[in-house]
Structure 1
Amino acid sequence: MSDYSESDAQRDVSELEKKSATAASLFDIRRIIGGLFVIYGIIVTIAGITASDAALAKADGVNINLWTGLGMLALGLFFLVWLRLRPLVVPVPPTPEDEGPVE
């Protein structure tokens, strides 16, 4: 006889569902896109702040790196705020106990 009971199996399934939900929220595409845009936005904004007069002259006096970096920062922050306000909800499949008796 096995010491592995049905309650152990249900507990294992429950743990796997929790891990799956955690993995799904970690790899939510909004987190990845938002994080990348924030990181690249910081880099491009710094490049825009430290732009030389020669670089500004090439762009007809417009500091394109600064404006692009600020836009990237805004977009990245939008994705991260969206993730915070509307987190991912992973649906849990019903268990046989939830379905009720079979007639």
Structure 2
Amino acid sequence: MTDQHGYSEQDVQREVSELQKKSATAARIFDLRRIIGGLFVLYGLILGITGLLDDQAAIDKAQGININLWTGIGMLLLGIFFLVWLKLRPTPPPPPAEEGDEADRPAE
């Protein structure tokens, strides 16, 4: 059966299925754990290296604590946590394509 625009129920279902697959793929690519983890690792490395290279005057300014080094280590550990979490519990893959999807699609 077709509606007033000429789309059949099968066409609508196929379109919905394709959009769900694209949405699942985008969710996997733009998983916030990957972005947050990557940024924390990057900034943690930068701060850690800065902390290793700090002179005594910078350490004395922070009341004897090498704040850049400790903050860098903390950020690095947090970033690694997010990336390990992503590896252990990945976003589920999109559902497999139904066999008739490609054959039913009209040539464009």
TM-score by length of 1: 0.71
Instruction: State the Cα distance separating 1:48 from its structure 2 match.
Output: 0.4
Instruction: State the Cα distance separating 1:73 from its structure 2 match.
Output: 0.3
Cα deviations by residue, 1:74-99 (Å, 9 ceiling, x for unpaired): 0000001001101123786xxxxxxx
Q: Percent identity?
A: 67
Where in structure 2 are the equivalents of 1:1-103 lying within 5 Å? Answer: 10-89=13-92
Structure 2 distance, partners of 1:11, 1:43, is: 48
Cα deviations by residue, 1:11-68 (Å, 9 ceiling, x for unpaired): 5443332221110112222112111111111111111011011101112221110010
Structure 2 distance, partners of 1:8, 1:43, is: 52
Instruction: State the Cα distance separating 1:69 from its structure 2 match.
Output: 0.1
TM-score by length of 2: 0.68
Kindly tell me the number of residue pairs found equivalent between the two proteins. 92
Instruction: State the Cα distance separating 1:6 from its structure 2 match.
Output: 6.6
Q: What one-letter code is carried by the residue in structure 2 that aligns with 1:87?
A: P
Structure 2 distance, partners of 1:30, 1:87, is: 10
Q: Is the partner of 1:67 in helix, strand or coil?
A: helix
